[in-house]
Structure 1
Amino acid sequence: MQKLFFLSFVFLLSCSVGKSPNKFSDAGIVKIYDLKDRRATDSLLIFLRSENVSYRREAALAFASVQDSLASLSLGTALLEDPDNEVKRNAAFSLGQTGGTQAVNALIPAIEISDRNVLSEVLEALGKTIQKEDIKILTDFNSKDTLIEEGQARGFYQLSLRRKADSTVTIKASEYLDSKKSFQTRLAAANYFARSQKLEGENFNERLINAAQMDVHPEVRMASISGFRHIEVTKALPVINKISISDKDFRVRISAIRACQNFPLMETQDIVFKGLEDPDEMVRVAASEVIRSKIEKPLNRLSPSISSANNTRVKANLYAALLKSESPEGFVQEIIDNYQTASPYYKANLLSALGEAQGANQAKAFEFLSQELLNDKNEKVITTSAADAIVSINRNFMKQASAQGGWTVYPPLSASPTTMDPTLFIGVYKKAIAKGDEAVSGIIAGALMNKDLHYKEQLTDITFLKEAKAKLSLPKDLESLQPLENAIAYLEGREKPAPLKNKFNHPIDWETVKTINSDQKIEIKTSKGTIVLKLLIEDSPGSAINFVELVKRNYYDGKFFHRVVPNFVIQTGCNRGDGYGGEDYSIRSEFSLRKYNTGSVGMASAGKDTEGTQWFITHSPTPHLDGRYTIFAETISGMEIVHKIEVGDKIIEARLKD
């Protein structure tokens, strides 16, 4: 018996010793993913015709990231003729990602395919690609299977993102809100209403209101209430009020507060100001953002709310609302006084508030903002916030000047607390750009090409912009180079340049990829607690190994969460701390069939193939990111910490977990 046990143990050991931690022990799969990373369409097409079904599957999926229309004909052939259903499904996804006439021509006949997984993907891909004249193909399709119905609902959602939906789509989407439908079907239908720009009629009102209040899943409730802008105010506000107070999930309450942005603040102020008292900080932040964005007239309850606010982001937003609506004397100085002892991110928020200054307050705010913009000792987040705020004052100043009889070029004046002059902005802009900060250069370049600011009439010498551009390079400075190129072209009277693109510059280290377990965990210790991620090395090897390499270098230790959008994302990984930072390389976008759900971890980017060091975690499902931002990990524990993270919280340590 002991001998039998020993032999069994040896057999099991021999089976496990040679086992690879992930699928990249296969040289063919490595080759396919490397060709995808290099965007090598011709070579990938060879694998799409391989006798090895695994290679055909991987090649078909690879084109979802490559997105080359030259592959559409071959992908269409794979969709309609390949004997393997997984190849078909991957081909359908890639055609949806690529778009174009050839993609549509392959997807339309594919609705005859019987496999439910393939057909579900085909229906969603049709929503990404068809034009209005073909919408009936999607709406008339009779989905008799839950999975297929989910694909059709996601197809409707994709039409809403593309502004292609019509009333027939709306009617069908409203039917899919029914509680008897699957969770994924209801979620897609709710997001259809959340993302649609303008819907006609009222035949969906009752279903949408019912879903917002009664659906068992908070994800459906929050998406449904985001669609309330399509409902008449007298019907919408009582429901919004009820949900904003009573729903147990703070994310739903955030969505209810945000729904108030679609109506005048004078009608929603009771709801929104009540939101400032919510026990959850992110709800209070959302309420303050709505007040700031919607305020037009003075409100007596605003000043007391500032005094009682104990969250710095809330307080700064309320200061901004006050300056925007009343321009009371003394409040600019109060903000400046608070600024002196504030933390860097609170300082940044206060500077942003000063950007809302109106009338007589603009000169004093401009003077202080200019001082902080040109102060070399300030943190980057303060510098960029000052630049943004000055541009905001610039826009407001010119708007007021136009309202008072048109824009006029005034003679140069010296800055003083009570005098404003358009040429003052040019002087500060030139000084700021001369300092060479790439983010500031990009922000100011964006202002200089704003037609409403009339810089084309004022700036005859743009040498300072060309000198700033010469200091920047790809791939690191893409976000600043593009607006600089656009501004120079605009000021010289040329056509807008083509978008800049990063060349392939950071090959994947495949030998290291092969050593990473398919369920590798990463532990992120933050100032609020610990979050554990599971890497998706087999879905997104380039992004995952980039993350691993940065973790091994302790790159993320000490980095701030510089961006937190309530019930959307927390974002980190910026070496500047303001969202404009990164290293001098970029990696490729990697798109898979995986969807953005609660706790998905994605790579931040400035467009396709511009990813680097910044990443984010989602608070809730965010389907508008699907197929647009790489998902390279999932949160497996610590979502309660994710929900608590605020701007300015810090990563203490990030480590690979055994």
Structure 2
Amino acid sequence: MIKTLCVGIPLFLIFVTSCTKPEQPLNKFSDTVLVKIADFQDRRKADSLYKYFKSENALYRREAVLAFASVQDTAFADELGYILLNDANTAVRQAAAYALGQTGTPACAAALTMAIDREKDSVVVKEILEAYGKATPKWSLQVTPENSFGWEGLAWSYYRAALKGRIDSTYSKQASELLQKGHTEPTRLAAANYFARGTKGFDAYEAILIQAARYDLSSDVRMAAAWALKKIKTDSSRVTLERLVKSDADYRIRVNAVRGLQSFPFNKTKETLKYALNDKQINVAVTASEVIDEVLTPESASEFRSLVKTISNHRLQGNIYKAILRVSPVKEVIAEIESKVKSADNPYAKAAFITALQSSVGGADFVHQQLLQADTPVVKSAAASALVAMNHHKDFKPALRKHFSELYVQAIQTGDAAVIGIVAAALADSTLGYKSVIKDFSFLYEAKKKLSLPKDIEALQPLEAAIAYVEGRKVSAPVKNEFNHPIDWKLVKSIPKDQRAIIKTSKGDITLRLLVEDAPGSVANFVALARAHYFNKKFFHRVVSNFVIQAGCNRGDGGGSEDYSIRSEFSPVRYRTGSVGMASAGKDTEGTQWFITHSPTPHLDGRYTIFAEVESGMDIVHIIEVGDLILDVQLPDSRNL
């Protein structure tokens, strides 16, 4: 017989009940105050957020302060500076420093400068230094860090300022020292990126950069150092890059090394580029074809015309054909490419060959015909881009403007949003001279009637610029999306903190960990679309070697969206290998498109929302090509994994 207590409850039930932990909240938004703060951020209610600056709860203060990294209301720089100087909580001060850097005004830089000498916590000092690099009009601090956190902050400060051209080369000596052994990997990475994407004129530090590119223990540092070597146009740098192309085990370093070879004479790099065309990693081969497109010389046209016929990948073929046509615009080559366009079954292959024709104005009528006849957006947009690119060809004569203007008018009259945006950008370019050729611009106003916000913002921006130009006025105000899609908080609260998403592709599975606590609106948007099977049968429409793979476009060409937009959500989370971000046409224009990074991309930090990270499947990310398919996106119950 089961023993019972006097109240009649079985003893084993008492034991089980007492040992069962209470159910934990799925994520931090079980706290209604945190929901209010995040909702004020989403609605850009700066005054409402400010009220929490004086909350007794340090967590609420931190979240409210951090919200200004996304709101970026310059009127609150002084208040954020006061928090940075006076708040007793380290995490709150760190958040204030980050928000000031994101807001980025001279007043923010002044507040950060004032805080540097007073701040005692090394983690906050690191954040202050990096934020200063973002905000300062000109880098001018006198600071000697006391520990590795300080050196790391200084390195990132140099890099952030260099990205905006706000630091001069006198700081390159110290940056070169930060790139060497003895400093942490994040410090070396920042210093390498300072040289790769920021400053110029650092030939004196070639030996240090070569050492880093070849021997640094971090492949991320080697990547950035290899990228920097393209700015030092010496035989030593070229030989180093060629050696990396042929020997480095990390394909991403090979990609950067191939890109670097674009800076050197083609007669010295040709054999290495041909070698890279045969790299088994498709991103390396594609990069080689892109470089050849830029640097091929007339003397080698015949050789590469024979070579292109031995290649089967349409992206490689398209780039090499484009290069050949650029240096040898003979009718036979044009006819060869047109034949490839006609026989291509894959729309992405057709688009690649149409793009090749932009290297000759002689292919304009054929390209225009493809635009009008195309039944897939990717072909239409490729044709429109090719027609616009022809304006910049050396054989484009002023007499051709009238004929091209007729082609452009017909292109815009198709009503295709992406085509409208592409062509309108050309018409808005005063250097191209179409204002003096076209007599009736009513077609622009008719095109505008067919577009709407937020869906067509990428087309409306250049179209409004074109209309303003022909009317002889400045654009009155930038086209921007109004707030029209508040966060679904019921959905957010149902998403576990460790929610996974499995992207099943034609190449294999990629598993993401969604960051609902850092980007609730973006995660809720992704989850809602995934549950509605929105991503199924959509293509990876953009792949940039050693940068990103991108998907989520309903057109398949990058020009598609839906009738809503969501807010940008910026947090201190950094873009690393496998970060998942929201694509956008500017702040607060995100919708359905997202991307995954191949490697660290710090120039995207604080500019594009990060809402997930790849947990497994980076091997698949690295082999995704343009035109690969998403079969399904699954959302397993992470609590049962």
Q: Report the 3-state secondary structure (helix = DSSP H, G, I; strand = E; otherwise coil) of the residue aligned with 1:16.
A: coil
Cα distance in 1 for partners of 2:327, 2:100 equals 49
Cα distance in 2 for partners of 1:5, 1:161 equals 65
For the 8 Å contact 1:588–1:610, the answer to whether it is kept is yes
How far the C-alpha of 1:114 sits from its partner, in A, is 1.0
For the 8 Å contact 1:281–1:311, the answer to whether it is kept is no
Q: Report the 3-state secondary structure (helix = DSSP H, G, I; strand = E; otherwise coil) of the residue aligned with 1:460.
A: coil
How far the C-alpha of 1:11 sits from its partner, in A, is 2.8
For the 8 Å contact 1:123–1:152, the answer to whether it is kept is yes
Alignment partner, residue 436 of structure 1: 415
For the 8 Å contact 1:485–1:497, the answer to whether it is kept is no
Cα distance in 2 for partners of 1:262, 1:560 equals 33
1:31 maps onto 2:32 in alignment? no
Cα distance in 2 for partners of 1:613, 1:331 equals 39
Q: Report the 3-state secondary structure (helix = DSSP H, G, I; strand = E; otherwise coil) of the residue aligned with 2:485.
A: coil
For the 8 Å contact 1:562–1:578, the answer to whether it is kept is yes
Deviations 1:151-208 (A, max 9, x none): 11111100110111212321111101112211100111111111025224x3311111
Cα distance in 2 for partners of 1:108, 1:294 equals 46
The one of 605, 630, 634 aligned to 2:609 = 630
Mapping 1:36-51, distance limit 5 Å: 36-51=41-56
Mapping 1:14-413, distance limit 5 Å: 15-17=21-23, 19-112=24-117, 113-132=119-138, 135-137=139-141, 140-200=142-202, 202-299=203-300, 300-342=302-344, 343-357=346-360, 362-363=361-362, 365-375=363-373, 377-396=374-393, 399-400=394-395, 407-408=398-399
RMSD: 1.6
Cα distance in 1 for partners of 2:310, 2:69 equals 51
How far the C-alpha of 1:384 sits from its partner, in A, is 0.5
Deviations 1:386-426 (A, max 9, x none): 11111122332xx4355xxxx34xxxxxxxxxxxx432212
For the 8 Å contact 2:206–2:237, the answer to whether it is kept is no
Cα distance in 1 for partners of 2:296, 2:198 equals 24
Worse-matched range after superposition: 548-557 or 235-244: 235-244
Worse-matched range after superposition: 321-330 or 208-217: 321-330
Cα distance in 1 for partners of 2:267, 2:102 equals 43
Alignment partner, residue 7 of structure 2: none
For the 8 Å contact 2:417–2:451, the answer to whether it is kept is yes
Cα distance in 2 for partners of 1:234, 1:395 equals 32
1:480 maps onto 2:459 in alignment? yes
Deviations 1:58-90 (A, max 9, x none): 001100000001111111111000000000000
Q: Report the 3-state secondary structure (helix = DSSP H, G, I; strand = E; otherwise coil) of the residue aligned with 2:634.
A: strand
Q: Which amino acid aligns with 1:119?
A: V
For the 8 Å contact 1:193–1:224, the answer to whether it is kept is yes
For the 8 Å contact 2:293–2:320, the answer to whether it is kept is yes
For the 8 Å contact 2:402–2:438, the answer to whether it is kept is no
For the 8 Å contact 1:486–1:497, the answer to whether it is kept is no
How far the C-alpha of 1:8 sits from its partner, in A, is 5.3
Deviations 1:485-542 (A, max 9, x none): 1011112221234311111100001011101000000011000000000000000000
Q: Which amino acid aligns with 1:142?
A: T
Q: Report the 3-state secondary structure (helix = DSSP H, G, I; strand = E; otherwise coil) of the residue aligned with 1:175.
A: helix
How far the C-alpha of 1:4 sits from its partner, in A, is 8.7
Cα distance in 2 for partners of 1:284, 1:250 equals 10
Alignment partner, residue 443 of structure 2: 464
Q: Which amino acid aligns with 1:146?
A: S
Q: Which amino acid aligns with 1:145?
A: N
| 1:511/1:379 CA distance change after superposition, 3 Å | same
| 1:56/1:157 CA distance change after superposition, 3 Å | same
Cα distance in 2 for partners of 1:457, 1:31 equals 54
Q: Report the 3-state secondary structure (helix = DSSP H, G, I; strand = E; otherwise coil) of the residue aligned with 1:400.
A: coil
How far the C-alpha of 1:566 sits from its partner, in A, is 0.4
How far the C-alpha of 1:310 sits from its partner, in A, is 2.4
Cα distance in 2 for partners of 1:334, 1:605 equals 37
Q: Which amino acid aligns with 1:609?
A: D
How far the C-alpha of 1:649 sits from its partner, in A, is 0.1
How far the C-alpha of 1:459 sits from its partner, in A, is 1.8
Deviations 1:27-74 (A, max 9, x none): 100000000000000000001111111100100110000000111111
Cα distance in 1 for partners of 2:16, 2:380 equals 64
Q: Report the 3-state secondary structure (helix = DSSP H, G, I; strand = E; otherwise coil) of the residue aligned with 2:204.
A: coil
For the 8 Å contact 2:401–2:434, the answer to whether it is kept is no
Q: How many residues align?
A: 627
1:580 maps onto 2:559 in alignment? yes
Cα distance in 2 for partners of 1:35, 1:250 equals 44
1:11 maps onto 2:18 in alignment? yes
Q: Report the 3-state secondary structure (helix = DSSP H, G, I; strand = E; otherwise coil) of the residue aligned with 2:359.
A: coil
Cα distance in 2 for partners of 1:194, 1:463 equals 46
1:603 maps onto 2:609 in alignment? no
Cα distance in 2 for partners of 1:341, 1:425 equals 26
Alignment partner, residue 550 of structure 2: 571
Worse-matched range after superposition: 387-396 or 620-629: 387-396
1:529 maps onto 2:508 in alignment? yes
TM-score (norm 2): 0.95
Give the gaps of 5 or more residues in structure 1. 409-420
Deviations 1:208-265 (A, max 9, x none): 1100000111111010010013323222111111111000000000000001122232
Q: Report the 3-state secondary structure (helix = DSSP H, G, I; strand = E; otherwise coil) of the residue aligned with 1:340.
A: helix
Cα distance in 1 for partners of 2:114, 2:390 equals 55
Give the gaps of 5 or more residues in structure 2. 4-9
Q: Report the 3-state secondary structure (helix = DSSP H, G, I; strand = E; otherwise coil) of the residue aligned with 1:585.
A: coil
Deviations 1:258-284 (A, max 9, x none): 011222323322222221121211100
TM-score (norm 1): 0.93
